[in-house]
Amino acid sequence: MMIGERLRVIREEKKMSQGDIEKATGLLRCYVSRVENGHTIPSLETMEKWTKSLGISLSELFSDNGEPAKPLAAFKNSRPKLNRAAANGLRRIEAAFARMKPRDIVILTHMARKFAEQ
């Protein structure tokens, strides 16, 4: 299903008119019509405004079953949180890397991986 068609179906399920979307988002009614008929594709920012006016999330808009998508395991907090000293150290390393030659960065990164394995 195309994004415009999905937006129209949801709008109609919520018993809203294109004018209601216009008032809630500030988008012109003719633009709403163009999107719903597949003549134009809205930006992500526009879709965010639109979904807020419909009372749904972006993940609900893009899901097949109309329910919010569950976060992927890879995007959950997979990294441990750094303490303040480690974060400051990383900032100093970042500044040093900006001044290094690419080959030196590769060597230093390799060494850091070896240290982390121990």
d(CA 93, CA 110): 14
Chain segment 56-71, per-residue pLDDT in tens: 888 888 877 666 666 6
Cβ atoms of residues 35 and 7 within 8 Å: yes
Structural domains of the chain ordered from first start: 3-66 (1.10.260.40), 84-117 (no CATH)
Enumerate the H helices of 55-83 as residue ranges.
58-62
Q: Quote the pLDDT of residue 17.
A: 94
d(CA 61, CA 4): 10
Q: Indicate whether this model's pTM tops 0.85.
A: no
Chain segment 30-47, per-residue pLDDT in tens: 999 999 999 999 998 999
DSSP 66: S
Please count the other Cβ atoms lying within 10 Å of the Cβ belonging to residue 84: 7
Average the pLDDT over each of 13-27, 58-72, 84-98 and give the range with the smallest value: 58-72
